[in-house]
């Protein structure tokens, strides 16, 4: 009997192999699904407190804040939408709404748009770069692109212009932290409110290892290029790269890892600089990191 195969044992062995294969496939599917969930996260945060839009003044409160938390370390913003709940105003074209991210990036959601009297009552307005239309002349509930219809100069503590004109301006930044909404009426005789406050829907994903370039110019206050100035770029691990400005003052670093924070500094033999050291959050090609010399040579 030792030379004969046992059909029952062979069948059992095949069943074990099949079960093992299915278990392995199930594990791979689970891991794949888990990785997809971790790779991209979408969360919504709200501040339902009413915002009172005062006549010719900043709103109350100013700003209205939302503290965002829960995104994993290393995740950066890939998309943001904003919803104002219960927007009412007797003359919508008086109003500007400015969003400021934790990194300080500002986006004008609506700048004096939405038409004139008799105004709008209790509309829900969502701002999304992917929307089909801009804010219309006669404002109604809907989803719109951020839209600029007139000049806005928000009162402090809002940041000064220029302001971003699309929500993509905040992409690449850190989602966690305090987001601020500044609402202001810029003309006389009309008031309003955002009765249900506002909400943010944020999508974030891990920073890719893509490389970008960083450059700029070393120059005098009058715009004349300064050559032979040493520019140092230092990453968070204290690794430093050097570049030297050309005869027209230009310098550049190639193959810089995106999604990281760097310290960049300039040092010359004959000049000191107004801002010799700068901190950069690099997410894309950057060509305007300039160093301006003091008017007096050393």
* Buried/exposed code over 97-131 (b: 16+ C-beta within 10 A; e: otherwise): bbbbbbeebbbbbbbbbbbeeebbeebebbbbeeb
CATH annotation of 211-292: 2.60.40.1120
Three-state secondary structure call for residue 163: coil
Domain with CATH 2.60.40.1120 in the chain: 211-292
Q: Give me the residue label for tokens 């230092």.
A: 234
Checking if the pLDDT of 87 tops 60, the result is: yes
Q: Which residues lie below 8 Å from residue 15, measured CB to CB, with a gap of 6+?
A: none
> According to the model, what pLDDT value does residue 236 have?
83
Domain with CATH 2.60.120.260 in the chain: 41-206
Checking if the pLDDT of 298 tops 70, the result is: no
**The dihedral formed by the CA atoms of 180, 124, 114 and 148, expressed in degrees to the nearest 10:** 40
Contact 91, 119 (CB under 8 A): yes
Q: For residue range 165-216, what is the model confidence (pLDDT) as tens digits?
A: 999 999 989 999 999 999 999 999 899 999 999 999 999 998 655 688 999 9
Domain 41-206 has CATH 2.60.40.60: no
Q: Look at 137 and 144; give whichever has higher pLDDT.
A: 144
Checking if the pLDDT of 6 tops 60, the result is: no
Checking if the pLDDT of 34 tops 50, the result is: no
42: which strand partners? 203
> According to the model, what pLDDT value does residue 26 have?
44
Q: What percent of the chain has pLDDT over 90?
A: 69
> According to the model, what pLDDT value does residue 168 have?
93
Closest CA to 94 of 200, 167, 1, 185: 185
Alpha carbon distance 258, 260 (integer Å) = 6
> According to the model, what pLDDT value does residue 269 have?
85
What is 66-113 written as a DSSP string?
EEE--PPTTEEEEEEEEEEEEEEESSGGGEEEEEE-TT--EEEEEES-
């Amino acid at each position: 009997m030792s030379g004969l195969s046992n059909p029952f044992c062979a069948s059992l062995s095949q069943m074990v192999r099949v079960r093992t294969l299915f278990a392995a496939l199930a594990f791979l599917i689970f891991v794949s699904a888990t990785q997809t969930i971790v790779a991209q996260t979408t969360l919504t945060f709200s501040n339902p407190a009413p915002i009172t839009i005062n006549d010719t003044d900043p709103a109350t409160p100013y700003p209205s804040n939302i503290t965002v938390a829960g995104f994993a370390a290393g995740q950066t913003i890939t998309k943001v939408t904003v919803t104002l709940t219960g927007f009412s105003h007797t003359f919508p074209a008086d109003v500007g709404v400015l969003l400021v991210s934790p990194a300080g990036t500002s986006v004008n959601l609506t700048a004096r748009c939405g038409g004139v009297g008799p105004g709008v009552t209790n509309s829900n307005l969502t701002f999304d770069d992917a929307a089909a239309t801009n804010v219309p002349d006669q404002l109604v509930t809907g989803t719109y692109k951020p839209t600029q219809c007139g000049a806005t100069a928000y009162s402090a503590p809002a940041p000064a212009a220029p302001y971003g004109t699309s929500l993509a301006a905040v992409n690449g930044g850190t989602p966690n932290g305090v987001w601020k909404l500044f609402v202001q009426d810029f003309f006389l005789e009309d008031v309003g409110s955002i009765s249900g406050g506002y909400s943010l829907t944020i999508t974030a994903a891990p920073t890719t290892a893509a490389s970008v370039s960083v450059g700029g110019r070393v120059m005098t206050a009058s715009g004349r290029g300064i050559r032979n100035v040493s520019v140092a770029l230092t990453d968070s691990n204290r690794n430093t790269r050097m570049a030297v400005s050309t005869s027209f003052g230009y310098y550049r670093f190639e193959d810089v890892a995106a999604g990281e924070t760097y310290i960049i500094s300039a040092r010359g033999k004959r000049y000191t600089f107004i801002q010799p050291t700068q901190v950069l959050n690099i997410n894309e090609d950057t060509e305007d990191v300039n160093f301006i010399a003091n008017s007096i040579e050393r």
